[in-house]
Each structure stands twice: as structure tokens, then as C-alpha cells.
Structure 1
Amino acid sequence: MDYSKLSDQEINKLVAFALGCKEVVPDIFMDDVRRYEFDKPKNKSGNKFYFDPCNNPADAWPIISKHQISMCAYERANSGMKRESWWEADVFADFITRDDNPLRAAMIAFLKMQESANVPANSTGSDIR
């Protein structure tokens, strides 16, 4: 899946589902531990159920830590070239993801890792890893 084409909200939802969240009734998402909401709170007091790991370190860090996702900032400023900077996230050099937002990059790396875990080793069904 090309996660770069998805909105933060779509990625947040996929991350929640990968963590075990299920839609119990329309627009109510829960797992054994918490309730998840994906629409931005309309007031300053916020919403204690709002889940936004693409932008909120409090939501992202437990995932980053548990799955040992590393993040690194890069900058390229070669003479004659446009100055660029970006973040990359990976899991032991696999699932490398580049994005301007480090938390979003980490969540995409997490989703790629989950995707890979759900793919059989080969099409014959035998696992030769």
C-alpha cells in the first residue's frame, strides 16, 4: 500500500486497527484498553479519546518504543542543489520511510512492519525463512 497518499487521519485509523482496535458500532472504535476517536476535537479542552499518533508524541511513543522504530533527521545542502531536509524512520534498516513529519514516518514504518508480518514467506505456503 502506498501510505504516502493517505491522510494523517487515515494512517491513524490503520495504526489503531493494527493495535487491535475494532469498530464496535458505527463511528465507535475500541479495543480491550481504550476507545479511539479520529475526528479532531472542536474545542480547546480536547477529547481524551482522540488518537493521533501522526502528530501527538503521547500516542506515538509507546508504539515507537515497543516496536523499536528509530528516527533520524537528514539534511542535504550540496552546492548547486536545493537545500532539503527530511526524517526517516525504520526498524533495524527495514521498512525505511521518509517524511517531513517524524511521527508520521514512524507510523508508516509501523504499518509496513505489520503488513510484512501478515504476508506468507512464499506463495507455496511453506515458510523457508
Structure 2
Amino acid sequence: MPSPKYKPQLLAIGNFIPILHYGPFAVNWWTFTNSKTSKNKNSLCIPIRVNERIQIKLNKIKFIIRIICNESNTIQSSYVCENDINDKIYLTTSEAINETYKKIFNMETQFSSPSIMDFDNENIIEQILSGVLFQPFKI
């Protein structure tokens, strides 16, 4: 669950790209969450969409995380914090927000990827799943 101090906001759902989401490295373009919705009582598999943008406000500063498909490594998703003046590419949302936060405030913090992406929010889950015809599942 997200901390009461901040509330992630979905700015853009991004693009669902079948060659990534159903291709040989699809496992890297989906995330499983234990969140259950009114429509689905099992754990969900949620796509990591290219150009999805999430905003959270920390210490009165808005941080925007964008998911990208790094041209040098299309095997897995990458992340950019739009506040980072160096335009560094990160491997996780946690790394993107924590490193950028450290640069701006000169102090360490630890935010987890699920809380940043707000996969407990049924509205966000529905938006991200829109247009997805098939979801991977666990047995």
C-alpha cells in the first residue's frame, strides 16, 4: 500500500507493444501483484507499458517516472525520472526515484516499486489493462 504521505497519480497509460509483451522476453514486461479487484479475485499480471508515466509528490516536489524501452536493451524495461537533470536510465522505478531524490535533497530514501506504481489502486489497474487481450497467469 502507498504511504499516506504521497499518492501516485497515473499521467499516461503508455503503449502496449505486442512484440515486447508477448515476445521471447515477455517475462520482463509484466509484473505480478497480489492486489485483488472487484472483477478479479486472483493475483494480477499487469503490463509494464512503454511511455507509462507516474507522478508522485515527495517533499513538495513532483517526481515523474516514465517507463522506456531502452534501444540498447529491449530485453527489459527501463525507467527515467524526468526530474533527473542527467537523464540517467535506471533499471527499476525504485532506483529512479531514490537516486533522483538523493540528488535533489542530498539525502537517502527508500521507496519501493509497487508503492510508486500504485498497483493497489483498482482504477490505475483498470486503465493499464485496457486494450490487453491476454494476460499471463501463474498456476
TM-score category (smaller protein): 0.3 to 0.5
State the structure with bigger RCO (CA 8 A, min sep 6), 1 or 2: 2
- Normalised by the length of structure 1, the TM-score is 0.32
Structure label with greater radius of gyration: 1
The structure where helix makes up a greater share of residues is 1
- Normalised by the length of structure 2, the TM-score is 0.31
